[in-house]
Structure 1
Amino acid sequence: MTYKHLTTRELTLIADFWNQGTKAYQAAKLLKRSQETIYRVYRFLNRGKIIEQYLQSYQRNKRRCGRKQSQLPKNEVNYINEQIKAGWTPNTIIGCAEQTISCSMRTLYRLFARGQSDFNVQQLPMKGRRHPNGYVERRGKAGHLGRSIYQRYQDFPHYQHEFGHFEADTVQGKAHRGAVMTLVERQSKVMIVLNVHRKTDEAVNQHLNQWLSKLPRHFVKSITFDNGKGFAGWREIANKHDVYAYFAEVGAPNQRGLNENNNGILQRDGLSKRLDFRNLPDELVIQLMHRRNNIPRKSLNYRTPLEVFLSYVTDEQLSTFF
């Protein structure tokens, strides 16, 4: 049964009943309250106090009730802040258990929300960027460029558990000046970022061709694109490297959710939309890619994407990626 605090109106009525000489059990019945609750107020008034004093005392006690807010030791606060700067989330910090934290994951999220211990909730990835469940993207009306994503499940029945299936997209800079191309492998969640500089099919094909040419044939089984103009030349890449190409439905970025999520975090890490990507340094792109691939993920049992990726490829193959 949920306990309801006395309201100011109820206290006023109780004071009136007391002044009129109404018995406490009768007042309790009229107010549909416990008799002890009414007796407590009556005893207070019998000591010569007034109802305003009871209200003040009641409010002071009410503020003190409930669980006290958690306080973390200084060494734990310093460790948490260091890991947050490295791109970790409270979920990862608790899940990896590299250092004992004297609170739960939910409590740690609450500490960020309250701003306790100088924690800043704005430092957490994707803060304020999530769409509600059932959200449908309605921007743009570009046509479907190639085979539907639904064909993918027929071509690869074990798609959900196979290594080598990538999702791809482009991220644009300020005023649509320049772009980078991102690819994410679904099993390891490793991210590849190609600094294509311009969002044209020629630039995208050039860099994608260079990257695929370094890999063993059939290492990349399929790539699922969005319907941006930068991927209009997909047939050339698919035919040359024998890669299956698929396209998400128009206005449904959730069909490439892993890729979209990583793009948002990549923008937060440093590839801000306020930058002009036409002259973006390759060193910055590589640095951000390394950072993202070395953060443990809950979905990978708190291993890093790079660790999981290493379990699928040899050291010789790895050198072509990074």
Structure 2
Amino acid sequence: MTETNITTDELVIIEVYFHQEPPTSQIAKRIGRARQTAHNVIAYLKGGHTALEYYRRYKENKSRCGRKRIVLPTNQQKHVEKQVAQGWTPDVIVGRQEISIDCSDRTLYRMFQRDTFEAGKLPMQGKRKPNGHQERRGRQAFRPNISERTTGYPGFNKEFGHLKGDTIIGVRHKSAVITLVERLSKVIITWKPEGRTAKDIETAINTWCHQVPRNLFKSITFDCGKEFSNWRSMSNRNDLSIYFANPGTPSQRVLNEHSNGLLRRGGLPKDMDFNTVDQAYAVGSVFELHGGWRTV
């Protein structure tokens, strides 16, 4: 990138030429700068100052340039700290709009990186794979990739009816709860299958689909778990388009990951045996967790 600001070397050269009293245009030509740039420095030197003092003044003025950091009002700061203590993340806080937040979710994340809030660290911390890591999970036969979703539904980002699906597993990997999130309304849907095999998941999805108006939901995007391997029959029977995220890329299902984290902390922890609870308990946990969010 080309340097546009005057450098310390150029300031020293101008100061040396200044004492020799050549024309300003000649000084500017020798350092390859505009005449006005050289004139500004020379005018400052004529006031009895040095090149070092000019540089320090320049740095001080530069520090006041640019966009100022956003400082949230006290009521908004307290709201953010309260919700984070309950397990909410910045994007959920901004998206719910319970009160107006004068910044974006990205700005909130940066505030937490700078330890702006007393709440400390965020409840969910990402896990980084080592450099050179190759994902070996999810290698199965052909299934529709998430990249095909925009082709089938050009208005995907603006229309209701597109779900993201996953399962949360209970203690000793013997039970599961299906979690679905509608990406536009952020509604969380939970459904408890009899087990966690592909057949159990298929039966539970079919049962749920028969209880909602047909074609209310248009598509579901799952992760690459084997429990969703019966996707063809689910898609055909319920007239649903089913897509799959790439293996090892939770960033393609961020809404699902956040929702699962909230469910874990709000009534469906890892050490629970989901076989001991009924469907009403799973739905009730979501309703209580979100303070009145409508669940299907």
Normalising by the smaller structure, the TM-score range is 0.5 to 0.7
Which consecutive unaligned segments of at least 5 residues does structure 2 have? Answer: 128-134
Cα deviation code 1:175-197 (max 9, x no counterpart): 96754322345775532123448
Match of 2:260 among 262, 267, 276: 267
Name which of structure 1's ranges 57-66 and 278-287 shifts more when overlaid on structure 2. 278-287
In 2, are the aligned partners of 1:178 and 1:199 still within 8 Å (CA)?
Answer: yes
In the TM superposition, what are the counterparts of 1:188-227 in structure 2 within 5 Å? 188-196=185-193, 199-205=196-202, 207-208=204-205, 211=208, 215=211, 218=214, 224=220, 226=222
Name the TM-score, length of structure 2 as normaliser.
0.62
- Matched with 2:24 is 24
* 1:5 is the counterpart of 2:2: no
- How far the C-alpha of 1:63 sits from its partner, in A, is 1.8
How far, CA to CA, are the matches of 2:13 and 2:136 in structure 1? Answer: 56
Distance (Å, rounded) in 2 between the aligned partners of 1:219 and 1:124: 36
Residues 1:75 and 2:70 aligned together: no
Q: 1:266 is paired with a residue of what secondary structure? A: helix
Task: Provide the C-alpha distance between the structure 2 equivalents of 1:33 and 1:16, rounded to a whole number of angstroms.
Answer: 16
Question: Which residue number in structure 1 is paired with residue 239 of structure 2?
Answer: 244
**Within-5 A mapping of 1:35-184:** 35-83=35-83, 87=88, 89=90, 93=94, 96=97, 98-99=99-100, 103=102, 105=104, 108-109=107-108, 112=111, 115=114, 117-118=116-117, 123=122, 139-144=137-142, 168-172=165-169, 179-184=176-181
Measured against aligned partners, the alpha-carbon deviations of 1:201-257 in whole angstroms (never above 9, x if no partner) come to: 2543564466567x2685877774646432345688789xx5336543684899xx6
Query: Alpha carbons of 1:175 and 1:289: their partners in 2 closer, same or farther (altered >3 Å)?
Result: same
* Distance 1:291-1:31 versus aligned 2 partners, 3 A rule: farther
Identity %: 23
Q: CA deviation at 1:95?
A: 8.7
Q: Give me the whole-angstrom Cα distance separating, in 2, the residues matched to 1:39 and 1:235.
A: 75
Offset, 1:18: 1.6
SS in 2 for 1:118: coil
Amino acid at match of 2:61: N
Alpha-carbon distance, 1:11 to partner? 1.0
Are 2:15 and 1:15 aligned?
A: yes
Say whether the 8 Å CA contact 1:238–1:245 is kept in structure 2: yes
Which residue of 219, 222, 231 corresponds with 2:228?
231
Deviation at 1:3, TM superposition (A): 10
Between the aligned partners of 1:95 and 1:57, the Cα distance in structure 2 is 46
Q: 1:266 to 1:107 in 2, by over 3 A?
A: closer
More helix by share: 1
Aligned partner of 2:189: which letter?
I
Separation in 1, partners of 2:177, 2:161: 21
Q: 1:189 to 1:200 in 2, by over 3 A?
A: same
Which structure's relative contact order is higher, taking Cα pairs within 8 Å and 6+ residues apart?
A: 1
Letter in 2 for 1:266: S
Gapped regions of structure 1 (runs ≥ 5): 130-136, 296-303, 307-317
3-state DSSP of counterpart to 1:180: strand
Sort the Cα spacing of 1:224 and 1:90 in 2 relative to 1 into closer, same or farther, 3 A.
closer
Residue type of the alignment partner of 2:243: A
Task: Name the structure 2 match of 1:132.
Answer: none
Maintained 8 Å contact 1:167/1:184: yes
Match of 1:134 in 2: none
For 2:21 and 2:29, how far apart are their aligned partners in 1? 15
Secondary structure of 1:58's counterpart equals helix
Partner of 1:312: none
Aligned length: 277
CA distance in 1, matches of 2:70, 2:235: 55
CA-to-partner distance for each residue in 1:253-292, whole Å, 9 max, x for gaps?
99xx6xx3332112332538xx746625859854663378
Q: Which residue type is aligned with residue 279 of structure 1?
A: D
